[in-house]
A = this chain, B = another copy of it.
Amino acid sequence: MVMKDKNPGCRIIGVDNNKEHEKKALELGIADEVLPLDKAIEKSSLIVLAVPVDALGKLLPVVLDQVNDQVVMDMGSTKENVIALAADHPKRSRFVATHPMWGTEYSGPEAAVKNAFSNKAVVICDSENSDTDALELVKNIYRQIGMHLIYMYAAAHDLHAAYISHISHITSFALANTVLEKEKEEDAIFELASAGFESTVRLAKSNAAMWVPIFKQNRENVLDVLNEHISQLRKFKSCLEKENYEYLEELIEHANGIRRILK
């Protein structure tokens, strides 16, 4: 939406396997028209792939096969896998791999939020393998919607993403399952849920279709940080079991260190 405000000539063509989503996107004015994939590629100068990362691996080569001088970008949450799949494609250099560090627990066209990306970070990966004009087009679009650009290699991106995004989703899913398991009175959850509970558990509403492929593709990094997380939780458990409240205080004060980083 912001892109259209800033580029009055710009037209957005929607492509979705789900006919209901296509209809909704037109109704909401997110797309100006909807077309089948091949027609849409033919008519576009920029093709934005926003699908779960497993589908992306299949879709990207198909799209690149049909590309002349168009630019193709993705917005997936893992980067090594998709970049590896495109590595040997003759049109590799028309592809720009990106990950905007923002999302919500919702999906589909109704989940769109205007100005959502403003002041957020976007990671651009392995940019030296993209053509200069393709890179410039993608960078300009992200700048127009107010994002700041960060450059990384795919492997570094996937590692940092495991620490800073993927583990949050696992803790949130596990917390939801914990509470659903222990709290048999759902009315109590509904009535008592505090702002704190809501904010730690909201990511648990996220879609399995989106997240299973992310965890699969980033399996080793996620396992590594998940093991650390379980051992951190065990420290809290041990403090409570042994009634070691001095160490509990230390653990909490150490966690408060996050204040230095997140205001």
Contact = CB atoms under 8 A, between A and B. Distances in A.
Given A121-B192, A160-B188, A236-B174, A168 B200 contact: yes
A173 B240 contact: no
Interface string A152-193: 000000001101110111111111111111110110111111
Could you say how many copies of this chain the assembly holds?
2
A222 to B, nearest CB: 6
Given A204-B258, A212-B249, A262-B198, A191 B150 contact: yes
B241 A192 contact: no
A114 interface: no
Contacts of A120: 194-195
Which of A168, A237, A243, A256 has the most chain B CB atoms inside 10 A of its CB? A168
Contact of A226 (B101, B185, B191, B233): B233
A9 interface: no
A110 interface: no
Contacts of A175: 167-168, 171, 229, 232
Contacts of A167: 175, 178-179
A243 B168 CA distance: 20
A232 B101 contact: no
Contact of A254 (B177, B183, B185, B190): B177
Interface in A39-91: none
Contacts of A230: 230, 233-234, 237
